[in-house]
Structure 1
Amino acid sequence: MENWTNAKLCDVANLILGAILFFAPWVLNFDAGMVSTNAHIAGLAMAILAVAALAAFAVWEEWLNLIVGLWTLVSPWVLGFQGTTAMTVCVIIGAAVAILAAIELWVMSQNPPRLTTHS
């Protein structure tokens, strides 16, 4: 049961991080265009995946969270907005989401959930 609680806490953290990333362009005045759009899409994806994971846990949600987190982490270099506030926000939030997803995947590999029920 403890792993389930930890998984839910990670998903709630991902939801909060996704919301922060989604609203960051307005709050922190990111450049309009690709920089803001990237933050909006990545933040929305993180939040949707977190809500889906809270509703019904599935391994694929954690893999997608890992991918979105890693994309957010490297996006400043791919899209060319290094040295900006947007870069700092994307790197910190992307790293946090990727680390949380990796931890959840590792914990699940160490202690897989039971797929059978007892009568």
Structure 2
Amino acid sequence: MKQLKHWQDSGNAVLGLWLAFSPLVLGFHNEVTDMGNTVLVGVLLLAAALGGMFVPRAWEDWTETALGGWLAIAPWAVGFTSTAATVNALVVGLIVLTLALWALQDWGLSGGQRPAH
């Protein structure tokens, strides 16, 4: 069976790096809650995406799905104070969620086998 290329993990790894550095770039590094949540999710996303790139398993796609969902609701769940952090979390969270669900769909369409990278 020919396996599909699976590029979504690379995209989520880049987004994880962005999240880790975005408080400095967007200027909300002094907002402890906003920065802490964003950096933590970024590091976890990067770890899950790298796991998916080097040791492909379905767990990392589900982990990325959960992280993307959390990131999209976190500004209201934990009370972000920065507009930049809120917009960043919402937009990146929705992109992560989309990529992760897309990867899960690809995995399901491949007959239960994880698509090759």
Return the TM-score normalized by structure 2: 0.88
Which residue type is aligned with residue 32 of structure 1?
E
Structure 1: gaps of 5 or more residues: 115-119
Query: Is residue 14 of structure 2 the alignment partner of residue 13 of structure 1?
Result: no
| Separation in structure 2 between the aligned mates of residue 107 and residue 10 of structure 1, nearest angstrom | 10
Which residue type is aligned with residue 113 of structure 2?
P
Which residue matches 1:117? none
Q: Pairwise CA RMSD of aligned residues?
A: 1.6
Structure 2: gaps of 5 or more residues: none
Return the TM-score normalized by structure 1: 0.87
Match of 2:21 among 20, 23, 31: 23
Q: Report percent identity of matched pairs.
A: 27
| Separation in structure 1 between the aligned mates of residue 37 and residue 79 of structure 2, nearest angstrom | 12
How do 1:21-100 and structure 2 match up within 5 A?
21-30=19-28, 31-81=30-80, 84-100=83-99
Change (3 A) 1:109 1:84: same
Which residue type is aligned with residue 22 of structure 1?
A
Contact 2:34 2:81 in 1 (8 A): no
Task: Give 1:32 shift.
Answer: 2.4
Larger Rg: 1
Show structure 1 runs of 4+ deviating over 4 A: none
By relative contact order (CA 8 Å, sep 6+), the higher-ranking structure is 2
| Separation in structure 2 between the aligned mates of residue 28 and residue 107 of structure 1, nearest angstrom | 34
Q: Deviations over 1:59-115 (max 9, x none)?
A: 01100100001000100110112670101110111111111111111121122218x
Task: Give 1:23 shift.
Answer: 0.2
| Separation in structure 2 between the aligned mates of residue 49 and residue 99 of structure 1, nearest angstrom | 15
| Separation in structure 2 between the aligned mates of residue 77 and residue 105 of structure 1, nearest angstrom | 27
Equivalent residues, number: 111
